[in-house]
Amino acid sequence: MLDQLEKEIVQYLTPEGKLTSVGELAWGEIPTDLKKQFFQWMTQIRIFDRKMILLQRQGRIGTYAPLEGQEAAQVGSALALSQDDWVFPSYREHGVALIMGMPMQQVILYWAGRVEGCRPPKGVRLMPPAVPIATQIPHAVGAAWAAKLRRESYVSVAYFGDGATSEGDFHEGCNFAGVFRLPAILFCQNNGYAISVPFSRQSASATVAEKASAYGFPGVCIDGNDVLAVFVTMSEAIQKARSGQGPTLIEAVTYRKGAHTTADDASRYRPSDEVEEWIYRRDPLVRYSLLLQQDGCLTKAEMEEWEEECMQKVEKAVKIAESFPKADATHLFAHVFDSLPPSLEQQKEALQHLEGGYPWEK
């Protein structure tokens, strides 16, 4: 996994918090407000993520897919998007979902097994998490196709992991995107492992990015823990897509600091020196905080204040989610069809009738 960073990779901010020469140029052009937002969102997402793990351990939600370590990849890419753009996430993109406007309590509800957590508010073009692998990629490409056919300027993003690149749907989605030259961004967070299987076992190619050339569009491999590289690369890809220059495949090389899900034990398959390297030396938030402090954009006190605010936001969202009305059994039949066929009406009635108790109690 560390050898991936020896590949040719776009980096603006080093793990030590220093801007590279391209980074210096970019930094000068980013408005202060956005510089703060990078920090604020990464912090918000990390605090949310840690709380979710805690809720799972306490039995208050079900199995959860943690994202810690991938904040820069999610924040840098999502903050480059506009409200009109479509997002097709996998199951680890809670950060992206929150940035796109999904209320936090709904993300919590989703992991608490409530289907209500899938539905975005009006005006948020975000699909529910794709649980099967790579299936969302062709959807994103189809949404990009709709933009092209309608001469609209939105772009469409598919978020997926390194494992997804082994599925047929990845190939088929990329192929359509290339053939029809669609305004799609294929955003791969290569965190090195598909559950336990390392990328070297997923693909014999050195990078995900290079696969793009076979589909006839550009692929870029970037340091996914460098929020600036992610933001700038994503912004360029969006710009190209909006101006009719077709799709881009972005490979953000990153690492999930924790397990695949709360049901997984990553220590079974990842060497501890590798994990430590990523946790202690390559953390996306630490390196960005160092830069902000050096730059004077945010003081340590302001950062701590923001952390406190984030914690309160999370607590509030948990409270709202947990006071959500209990799921009603008849909701099984809601939103299955536009109108229920007679056989389903009968099944619904039978379910309601059940609540009368056991036959021997009558």
Partner 1 sequence: MGEMTMVQAINDALRVALKTDPQVLILGEDVGKNGGVFRATDRLWSEFGEERVIDTPLSEAGIIGTSIGLAINGFKPVSEIQFLSFIYPGFEQIVSHVARLRTRTQSAFPNQLVIRAPYGGGIRAPELHCDSTEIFFVHVPGLKVVTPSTPTDAKGLLLAAISDPDPVIYLEPMKLYRSQKEVVPSGWYEVPIGQARKVRDGEDITLITWGAMVPIAVETASKWEKEGTSCEVIDLRSLYPLDEETILSSVKKTGRAIVIHEAPRTGGLGAEVAALIQEKAFLYLEAPVIRVTGYDVPVPMFALEDDFRPNLNKVSQAIHQVITY
Which residues are identified as catalytic? 256, 260, 269
Please report whether residue 329 would count as binding partner 1 according to CB under 8 A: yes
Please report whether residue 291 would count as binding partner 1 according to CB under 8 A: no
Per-residue interface string for the shown chain with partner 1, residues 63-102, x marking contact by CB under 8 A = x-x-------------------------x-----------
Q: What is the DSSP string of 227-295?
A: HHHHHHHHHHHHHHHHTT---EEEEEE---SS-SSTT--GGGTS-HHHHHIIIIIS-HHHHHHHHHHHH
- Tell me how far CA of residue 338 lies from CA of 55, 195, 328, 335, in angstroms: 35, 38, 19, 7
Per-residue interface string for the shown chain with partner 1, residues 1-40, x marking contact by CB under 8 A = ----------------------------------------
Please report whether residue 121 would count as binding partner 1 according to CB under 8 A: no
- Stretches 6-14, 20-28, 113-121, 140-148: which one binds partner 1 (CB under 8 A)? 113-121
Please report whether residue 164 would count as binding partner 1 according to CB under 8 A: yes
Q: Which is nearer to partner 1, 18 or 319 (CB)?
A: 319
Q: Is 59 exposed, middle or buried (0-12, 13-18, 19+ CB in 10 A)?
A: exposed
In the numeric block, which tokens belong to residue 226? Answer: 């460098």
Shortest distance in whole angstroms from residue 160 CB to partner 1: 11
Please report whether residue 169 would count as binding partner 1 according to CB under 8 A: yes
Q: Is 261 exposed, middle or buried (0-12, 13-18, 19+ CB in 10 A)?
A: middle
Q: Do residues 164 and 137 make contact, with C-beta atoms less than 8 angstroms apart?
A: yes
Please report whether residue 203 would count as binding partner 1 according to CB under 8 A: yes
Residues 285 and 298: their CA atoms lie apart, in Å, by 13
- Stretches 177-185, 199-207, 242-250, 273-281: which one binds partner 1 (CB under 8 A)? 199-207
Please report whether residue 342 would count as binding partner 1 according to CB under 8 A: no
Residues 131 and 337: their CA atoms lie apart, in Å, by 22
Binding site for partner 1 (CB under 8 A): 62-63, 65, 91, 110-115, 129, 131-133, 163-164, 166-169, 194-197, 201-203, 261, 263-264, 268-269, 327, 329, 331-333, 336, 343-344, 347-348, 351, 353-354, 357-360
